[in-house]
Amino acid sequence: MALTDVSVLLVEDDSVFRQLLADFLIQQGAVVFEACDGDEGVSEFQSHTVDVVIADLSMPRLGGLGMLKQILKINPAIPSIVISGNNVMADVVEALRYGASDYLVKPVADLKIIEQAIEQAISPANTDLGAIDFSDSHAVINSAANMSQDLSYQELADNFTLLEHNAEAAKSVQQQLFPASNVSYPTAQTHYSLCKNSEVSAYFIDSTMVGDNHLIMYMAHFHPEDNRAAFGCVLLRSFVNQKLKLFRNGLSTTLVEPFSMLSYLNDRMVNSGLNLYVDIVYVAVELTHYRAAIGQAGGGLRCYLRNGTGLAPLAISESLQLGTVEWNKPSMQFRTLMPNEKICIASNISHHRNRLMNNQFDGLFYDEELPAGGFIELEFV
């Protein structure tokens, strides 16, 4: 049986659905521990060794998101799948933020969907392309054709039309994903400024620590430049979250390898079938020796080194955008940074470069008079 000896923690306040799902999972060979709310779920999580957590979002006492926050602190390596009857995109964003590997919407028409979600969540082979030779474009394209469709695509696609036609919903989702304008890490900090002149930004910026010794940052520009860019931000963040969980569990180093990461992102964007295309610059910095690996796909964004004399653009050639079947490989650059050098990504517009040189780090802001775009800067402290 597909789930033989897989240990599942099922946290659901609907006793009928919980019993139905528990019986189904047991029939598939799983070992199931049950809880009726988030508090009991945390207690069960501490008492048993489990392979995956399935949790309803809306529960009395402690809801699914609150529970995810607590179990993430206990063991961040355990994948989680969240289920909700609300069908609210804000819930999707929050679940992804706290590391959920999948999001399903009630009513679940076929319990086999949950079985497949569990198989995907616990199988590194389904989420890591590290064994593929990314210098071979045919291998990348064929791997996409041979992989099963991600359940997150199937469930999130139900919200794609909503975001496409509802500017307020798209704006709300996107704003929750953007970081603070200044983020401090143990030995570095990032600052950014990003102007949007419509409700939804076609640009996205983010950074995060990866383990103790690496920091990644990236800037993306989505096409078409409409409400669907908010959906693209959700997808991009979820892909990064998946690789972050694998890194923490010692199963993948893709996140700190721009060549492999951009190849993985292209595969996922193509496989989504959503016809979203992305210009992106992706930077991974090894903080101990100040080594930076920079990958670029598409055009319109540039990577710079900044010191006391100004901005020096790195010579990275343009390539096809992510989301393109014909995409081959990213353009790459490797640098060892001086301690006083800063590394920046910026849209290729003089106005934004001038704001960067004037240290105008305003985070995400709206100004219909200014060109859309901006910049992010990483400096060592």
pLDDT tens figures, 52-77: 999 988 887 788 888 988 998 898 88
Q: How far apart are CA 303 and CA 152, in angstroms?
A: 32
* pLDDT at 132 > cutoff 50: no
Phi and psi at residue 301, to the nearest 5°: -120, 145
Six token digits for residue 350: 């003089």
pLDDT tens figures, 231-253: 888 788 878 877 887 787 787 89
Mean per-residue pLDDT over the chain, rounded: 82
* pLDDT at 114 > cutoff 60: yes
Q: What is the pLDDT of residue 148?
A: 27
* pLDDT at 89 > cutoff 90: no
Per the model's pLDDT, the better-predicted residue between 1 and 26 turns out to be 26
Per-residue CA distances from 351 to 201, 341, 347 (Å): 17, 22, 9
Band of residue 88 on the pLDDT scale cut at 50, 70, 90: low
Most confident residue range from 5-19, 27-41, 110-124, 229-243: 27-41
Q: What is the pLDDT of residue 222?
A: 96
Per the model's pLDDT, the better-predicted residue between 126 and 120 turns out to be 120
Q: What b/e sequence results for 29-40 when a residue is b if at least 16 CB atoms lie within 10 Å of its CB, and e otherwise?
A: ebbbbbbbbbbb
pLDDT tens figures, 170-210: 777 777 788 889 999 989 999 999 999 988 999 999 999 99
Q: What is the pLDDT of residue 62?
A: 85
Using a pLDDT cut of 70, give the percent of the chain over it.
83
Q: How far apart are CA 331 and CA 196, in angstroms?
A: 27
Band of residue 124 on the pLDDT scale cut at 50, 70, 90: low
Lowest mean pLDDT segment, chosen from 90-104, 110-124, 158-172, 209-223: 158-172
* Mean per-residue pLDDT, 335-351: 93
Band of residue 153 on the pLDDT scale cut at 50, 70, 90: very low
Q: What is the pLDDT of residue 142?
A: 28
* pLDDT at 6 > cutoff 90: yes
Q: What is the pLDDT of residue 164?
A: 65
Band of residue 127 on the pLDDT scale cut at 50, 70, 90: very low
Coil, strand or helix at 165? helix
Q: How far apart are CA 80 and CA 76, in angstroms?
A: 10
Q: How far apart are CA 322 and CA 270, in angstroms?
A: 8
- To the nearest 10°, report the CA torsion of 195, 203, 282, 178: 80
* Mean per-residue pLDDT, 358-381: 94
* pLDDT at 130 > cutoff 80: no
* Mean per-residue pLDDT, 322-336: 92
Amino acid at 176: Q
199: left (phi over 0), alpha (psi -120 to 50) or beta: alpha
* pLDDT at 158 > cutoff 70: no
Six token digits for residue 272: 């989504």
Q: How far apart are CA 5 and CA 26, in angstroms?
A: 9
**Residues near 117 by Cβ (< 8 Å), separated by ≥ 6?**
81, 102, 104, 151
* Pair 378, 342: CB distance under 8 Å: yes
Q: What is the pLDDT of residue 163?
A: 61
* Pair 277, 283: CB distance under 8 Å: no
Using a pLDDT cut of 90, give the percent of the chain over it.
45
pLDDT tens figures, 281-300: 999 999 999 999 999 999 99
* pLDDT at 150 > cutoff 70: no
Per-residue CA distances from 83 to 57, 88, 123 (Å): 6, 11, 20
* pLDDT at 258 > cutoff 90: yes
Give pTM, 2 decimals: 0.65
Band of residue 165 on the pLDDT scale cut at 50, 70, 90: low
